[in-house]
Amino acid sequence: MGIRFDGVCVAYGGNTVLDSLDLTVETGEVMALLGPSGSGKTTALRAVAGFVRPTAGRVFLGDRDVTDLPPHRRGIGMVVQQYALFPHLRVEDNVAFGLKARKTPKAEIRERVTEALEMTGMAAYARRHPRELSGGQQQRVAIARALAIRPDVLLLDEPLSALDARLRSDMLAELSRLHRELPDVSILYVTHDQVEALTLADRIAVMDRARLQACGTPRELYRAPANAFTASFVGNANLLPVTVGTDGVAFADTELKVATAEAAPGATATLCVRPHLVGLGEGPNRLTGTVSEIQWRGATHRLYVEVDGHRVMADVPELRTPPAHGDEVTLHFAPEDAVLLTAGIAHD
Amino acid sequence: MLVHSRGTRWALWTLFLVLFIPLFALPLLVVLAASFATHWSSVLPSDLTTAHYSAATRGEALQALTTSLVTAAAASLIALAAGTWAALSAASLPKRVRRVLDALFVLPVAVPSVVVGLAILVAFSQPPILLNGTRWIVIAAHAVLVTAFAYQSVSAAIVRLDPAYEQAAASLGARPSYVLWRVKLPLLLPSLTAAAGLCFALSMGELSATMMLYPPDWTPLPVLIYAATDRGSLFAGSALAVVLMTATLLVLLAVSRIRTKASYR
C-alpha cells in the first residue's frame, strides 16, 4: 500500500510548517524525507501517522483517504528517535502490544512476536525490560514492535540519530536487509543525514522551509540536482555563481566550458561541481587560486582554494607532497562533471 | 546534594539537627513519653505504665481506629479516582479552562475545613440525598478535602508523561481507552500511589470537619484523642495519638513498597 500526500498543508497558529506537499510513495518503496531541522519533514510523517491534522489537503494510504481517521485506525508501523518502548513491559510484551490491542488470538500473538524478534535479532532478549537494553537493542525492539502488526506502511522518524556512528552504519545495513525481506512494505524515512538517505532510499524527497525542494532517485539528485539547496544538501557541492555565455559560462574572469542546455545567454546561474570531481593540476576548465586550508583525511586530501573570492573544495587522492597554506594552485574539472543550476539560489 | 568539604558537612548536619529536633522530633518524643506516664511534674515523666496502651488498643479506642482506617481508605480511593479522572480530563482542556479547574480543586483546602464540614452538613441533611447521621457523610467530607491533593499530584505527573508513549501505542492500533489502561495508568502508578499515601495520611489526621459531622456509631480516632485531652486525660490521649501515628506510618510504608515496585527507571 502506497502513501499519497495531496496538497497537504500544516500550520500552527498562522505559522506554516508544511506548505502544500504533493508526494507519492509507491508500494514497497523506501522514500527518504531529507532536510534540515524545521524543514517540515517530521510534520509530513506525523500527518501520515495521524498526530497532526492538515489544515488543507488530504492524506491517502493506498486508495483510502485517512485524513480524518484517528491514529489507531490507520494501521501504520512507526519508529521514533527516542524509541518510546513501554518501560513497564518486557520486550515480548512491548512487541505483542499492538497485537493484543487488536485482539489477535493468543497462539498467533506468540508466533508473530517470535517472528518479529527473530527478524530483528532480539529473540534472546524477550524476557528483559527495556531499561536493561542498550540504545541499539532498544531500537531493534522498537522496529520489531512496529513490524509485529504487519503494517503496509512503516514510518521511521530519525530512527538512527540517537545511536553512535558505528552502530548507525550497522543498523543501516539491517534496515536494508529488513526491507529486502519485506518487499511490499512502503517506508517513509525521515532523516537529516544524507548518508542514511543515499544508502537506504529508492527515492529522496528533499525538504526545506516547509516545502518540497526536489524529489528523485539518489543518483538523479546527486548527479543532476534540481537546485542549489538540493546540491548542497545531497552530498557536498561547490556552488559557483556564473553568468551564462554562448557555449559555456563565465565565473568572474574565467571562461568555463560546460553544457548550458536551455539557459539563456547573459542570465545568472549557479554552477555545481562535486569536490571529488575536481582535480589538482592542469586540465580543461582551469581555476587558479590560493590554498586557504588543507585537511588530510586518510585516503584523500581536502583542499580549500580561494578562487576570485569564492571557496572551492577539491577532494584529491592522498598527495605525497601536499601544497602548503598560501600556495598558488590550479584546479580543473571535466565539462561533463559540472551541472548548471538555473533555478534556486544558494541559501547562505 | 554532594558536599565535599568536611567543615561544610558538619555545619549542615548541625543546622539540620538544630531545626529538626525542636520542630519535629521533640513534640513527637513528648507525646511518646507522655503516653507511658501517670504523672509528669518534673523534667521527665514518672510512674511509667503501659496501661494507657492496653486501653488504647481495645474497646472504644480500637473501634475508633478501625473507623479511621476505613474512612481514610475509602476517602483516599474516592479522591484518587475522582482526582485522577479530573486530572486526565483537564490535561486535554485548553490552558485557560484548566487553570480555572486547578483553582476550583484547591478551594476546599483554601477555606477552613470547618466550613467544608458545615457546607456538607447543610447539603446532605435533607432529601434527596440524606447522609446526615450515617458514616457516609464523614467519608464524603474527607473525600472532598483530600481530592485536591490527589488532583494536584496526578496532574503534575501527567504533564511530565512523554506523549511519545501514548502516540506509539496509538500507532500500534490501541484505542484511547486501551492506551489509558495499559500505558498511561501503569506509567502514572508511582504518582498514583504517592497521591494515595498523601490522601490517606491527611484523612487519618482530619479533625475539624469530622467534629461537625460524625454520628455516634462512627467516631474516628482523632475525635477520641480530642475528647480525651479535652477532659484532661492527656496521657491516655497521648497513647491514642501514638497508636494513630503508628497505624498511619505502617500503611504509608506498605504503600511505598508498591511504589518502589512500580517505578521503572
pTM of the entire structure? 0.79
- Read off the pLDDT band of A117 (50, 70, 90): very high
Q: Which residues pair with A241 in a beta bridge?
A: A270
Q: Which residue ranges form the domains of chain A, and what is each CATH number?
A: 3-228 (3.40.50.300), 236-341 (2.40.50.100)
Residue B263: predicted pLDDT: 62
Nearest CA in chain A to B265: A131
- Read off the pLDDT band of A47 (50, 70, 90): very high
Residue A92: predicted pLDDT: 93
Residue B1: predicted pLDDT: 61
- Read off the pLDDT band of A346 (50, 70, 90): very low
CA–CA distance, A46 with B178 (Å, rounded to integer): 21
B185 vs chain A: nearest CA distance in angstroms?
11
CA–CA distance, A204 with B38 (Å, rounded to integer): 88
Contact A98 B183 (CB under 8 A): no
Nearest CA in chain B to A87: B264
Q: Taking 50 as the threshold, does the pLDDT of residue A71 lie above it? A: yes
pLDDT in tens, A303-338: 999 998 889 999 999 888 888 888 899 999 998 888
Task: Compute the radius of gyration of chain B from its Cα atoms.
Answer: 22
Contact A86 B169 (CB under 8 A): yes
The answer to whether residue A284 neighbours chain B at the CB level (below 8 Å) is no
**Mean pLDDT per segment of 10 residues, for chain B of length 265 residues?**
79 88 83 77 72 74 86 92 91 87 86 87 80 83 90 90 90 91 89 89 87 84 85 81 88 81 58
CA–CA distance, B63 with A254 (Å, rounded to integer): 102
In chain A, beta strands by DSSP E: 3-12, 15-25, 30-34, 56-61, 64-65, 76-80, 153-157, 186-191, 203-208, 211-216, 238-244, 249-251, 254-256, 268-273, 279-280, 286-296, 300-307, 310-317, 328-332, 338-341
Q: Taking 80 as the threshold, does the pLDDT of residue A285 lie above it? A: yes
Looking at residues A13-28, what average pLDDT do you find? Answer: 90
**Among partner residues B171, B178, B187, which is closest to A78 by beta-carbon distance?**
B171
Looking at residues A77-91, what average pLDDT do you find? Answer: 90
Q: Which chain B residues touch A43 with a CB distance below 8 Å? A: none
Contact B171 A73 (CB under 8 A): no
Burial A169-179 (b: 16+ CB within 10 A, else e): eebbebbeebb
Say if residues A279 and A285 touch (Cβ distance below 8 Å): no
CA–CA distance, A263 with B119 (Å, rounded to integer): 85
Q: Which is more confidently placed, A10 or A260?
A: A10
Q: Which residue ranges form the domains of chain B, and what is each CATH number?
A: 58-262 (1.10.3720.10)
The answer to whether residue A78 neighbours chain B at the CB level (below 8 Å) is yes
For chain A, give the mean pLDDT: 88
B259 vs chain A: nearest CA distance in angstroms?
13
Q: Which chain A residues touch B174 with a CB distance below 8 Å? A: 72, 97-98, 101
